[in-house]
Amino acid sequence: MSITPVNAPFPMTRLRRLRRTAALRGLAAENTLSVNDLIWPIFVMEGQNDSYAIPSMPGVMRLTVDRAVLAAKEAHDLGIPAICIFPYTDDASRTEDCALAWSPDNLSNRATAAIKAAVPDIAIMTDVALDPYNANGHDGFVRDGTIVNDETVEALVKMTLAQAAAGADIIGPSDMMDGRIGAMRRALEADGFQDVAILSYSAKYASAFYGPFRDALGASGALVGDKKTYQMNPANSDEALRLVARDLSEGADMVMVKPGLPYLDICRRVKDQFGAPTYAYQVSGEYAMIMGAGANGWINEEQVMMESLMAFKRAGCDGILTYFAPRVAKLLGA
């Protein structure tokens, strides 16, 4: 006598067969997470042989340049292909004219040069935006309460060239000004940096998930108002495709969607439509949520970490910027 439900087709579609053992699940896996998928964002600060734990990002430290070099060495030994440098600035570094942004020996450029010299084989990504150097915490110049797009782009170009000269392999414009990719690409070509790549933060949303990062940079107190006139409206998705199309046509080599997990639909659309190298940024707030719930025993932190990163791969991402990078690399290598 059959126990097959009366109306089911025969033979029954038993998809569970390939989930029965770890070996079969491995064979049937559609996506894999590898250490090659990781870009590790690090925060650098002034000083010597020192670090500072960022309260809203448990496990993440601001590092002095010498310590950042050691961190880069460790990352390289773990097989992590790239790190991304963000500078922590104090009030004195933040001015109306943002002049420190394109200074050849600002903190970020010193860190880049030091890491390049000590760990030449790790790719170094840098951040292009005025916020660490701006008195009002915005990514662009502000006049009469309005972001001045084109003047900002000129400053971003100077910043880009200084970062390329310091040894950056990948320039990461996170500012969301219009026209910056074309201007940066033209300047890089003209100044002999034609091999420097641009990973554009093309679809960067005006998100509350950046909160802990702004603490990490010291920019929380500085920011006047919000970034909604230049970062994307979380309600939009078609607009992300237009931004990606524009940035690729202006000379971006790689594109990014940011934040990550709440925007996986955008990652998938971007990958399907353009087939370009597509990255997602698992941002500070996403990190903090996983760590916070983990610390409370509400979730299994390590499993959620790995599952969240696999989700990016499933959504079509070629790589992920994640604060979990060294921890994941150790797990994958173990």
Report d(CA 83, CA 236) in Å as an integer: 30
Tokens of 305: 């970490």
Q: Which stretch binds ligand PBG (CB under 6 A): 140-148, 183-191, 206-214, 243-251?
A: 206-214
Burial 282-304 (b: 16+ CB within 10 A, else e): bbbbbbbbbbbebeeeebebeeb
Give the separation between CA 282 and CA 110, rounded to whole angstroms: 26
The DSSP bridge pattern shows strands 82-87 and 319-322 to be: unpaired
Instruction: Tell me whether residue 258 is one of the annotated catalytic residues.
Output: yes
Q: How far apart are CA 81 and CA 198, in angstroms?
A: 16
Question: Which window, 26-34, 161-169, 208-216, 325-333, contacts ligand PBG (CB under 6 A)?
Answer: 208-216
Which window, 47-55, 102-110, 210-218, 270-278, contacts ligand PBG (CB under 6 A)?
210-218
Which of 126, 278 has the CB closer to ligand PBG? 126
Stretch (H or E) spanning 108: helix 107-118
Judged by CB under 6 A, the number of residues near ligand PBG is: 11
Tokens describing residue 69: 């070099």
Residue 221: burial class (beta carbons within 10 Å; 0-12, 13-18, 19+): exposed
Given the residues 116, 227, 258, 271, select the one marked as catalytic. Answer: 258
Options 47, 178, 179, 214; binder of ligand PBG; rule CB under 6 A? 214
| Angle between helices 301-314 and 325-333 in degrees, nearest 10 | 90
40 binds ligand PBG (CB under 6 A): no
Nearer residue to ligand PBG within complex by CB, 210 or 312: 210
Helix (H) or strand (E) holding 204: strand 197-204
**Pattern 70-109, ligand PBG, x by CB under 6 A:** ----------------------------------------
Q: Is 26 exposed, middle or buried (0-12, 13-18, 19+ CB in 10 A)?
A: exposed
**In the complex, what is the shortest distance from the CB of residue 15 to ligand PBG, in angstroms, rounded to a whole number?**
38
Catalytic residue among 116, 204, 227, 271: 204
Task: Restricting to residues 226-265, name those near ligand PBG by CB under 6 A.
Answer: 227
Q: Give the binding range for ligand PBG (CB under 6 A) out of 48-56, 115-123, 209-217, 305-313.
A: 209-217
- Least separation, in Å, of the C-beta of 177 and ligand PBG? 11
CB of residue 90 to ligand PBG, shortest distance in Å: 17
Is 73 catalytic? The answer is no
Other C-beta atoms within 10 Å of 80: how many?
22
Minimum distance, C-beta of residue 215 to ligand PBG, in the bound complex (Å): 10
Helix (H) or strand (E) holding 300: none
- Residue 141 as a binder of ligand PBG (CB under 6 A): the answer is no
Among 283, 291, 311, 315, binds ligand PBG (CB under 6 A): 283
Q: Least distance (Å) from ligand PBG to the CB of residue 20?
A: 40
Copy the structure tokens of residue 263: 């925007």
Q: Tokens 């949520």 identify what position?
A: 289
- The reply to whether 284 sits near ligand PBG by the rule CB under 6 A is yes
Does residue 127 belong to the site contacting ligand PBG (CB under 6 A)?
Answer: yes
- Catalytic residue numbers read 204, 258
| Residues found near ligand PBG in the complex (CB under 6 A) | 127, 129, 131, 139, 174, 210, 213-214, 227, 283-284
